[in-house]
Amino acid sequence: MTRDSDLASFSPLSPKVKQISTNLIIFGNAGFWLQLVLGIVSLMLLFFASPLLRSTSNQDGSKSLAIFCAALGVLTLAISIFFFFRRYISIGNNLKKGNSKDRPNKKYTIRLMKLGLASNLLGMFISLIGAEAFAGILYGKAAQIPAGAAVYNTNQLIEPVEIMALLANVHTIFSHFAGIVIGLWLIDRISK
């Protein structure tokens, strides 16, 4: 091959492609780090709360459902983190390449973005179910305490570990929400 034929396979990038590439890299990194930090916090809260919640579990299994939904929400968050790190950022880097045959096309990019959004939506839905279950447990305990009376049965009191589990779900929900907002914004930028 001659040098001229090598240069012919490289096409200059349009300003729009450069901007899309930059947006994918910057917001892909922002989404990755935001979701990673919140995911680690959620995982640690859930890690410390799960064994304690299982040991004080009630008979109806609502705590088990809530823990399961919280763990599944964190698992879908891990999938979303993968999309931000391995897909959005790598697509942004591939778009910057001068070789046009290595660059992903618009349809492929949007399809991957939609898969990431689906992961975030599913995770947010599952985490909302877990948060609602924990909120119901906390309300049930609070409603059983008579006003102004002394509590002799400490199982009726709200335990800090239950609040930790609810907080883990809230962090997971916020993380999925951030992924949805960033993903929708990036799809909007790519579609224009």
Question: Does 130 score more than 50 pLDDT?
Answer: yes
**pTM over cut 0.95:** no
Range of the domain at 184: 14-96+104-191
DSSP letter at 80 equals H
Q: Is residue 169 part of a domain?
A: yes
Question: Does 120 score more than 90 pLDDT?
Answer: yes
End-to-end CA distance of the chain: 38
For every residue of 16-41, DSSP letters joined together read HHHHHHHHHHHHHHHHHHHHHHHHHH
Domain count along the chain: 1
Q: Is residue 48 part of a domain?
A: yes
Q: Give the whole-angstrom CA distance, residue 67 versus residue 76.
A: 14
Q: Is residue 4 part of a domain?
A: no
CB burial of residue 55 (10 Å; 0-12, 13-18, 19+): exposed
Token couple for 114: 């939609």
Q: Is residue 172 part of a domain?
A: yes
Q: Is residue 2 part of a domain?
A: no
Q: Is residue 9 part of a domain?
A: no
Tens digits of per-residue pLDDT, 71-99? Answer: 999 999 999 999 888 888 888 888 887 66
Tens digits of per-residue pLDDT, 157-185? Answer: 777 888 888 899 999 999 999 999 999 99
Are 145 and 85 spatial neighbours (Cβ–Cβ below 8 Å)?
no
Are 176 and 117 spatial neighbours (Cβ–Cβ below 8 Å)?
no
Quick check: helix, strand or coil at residue 18?
Answer: helix
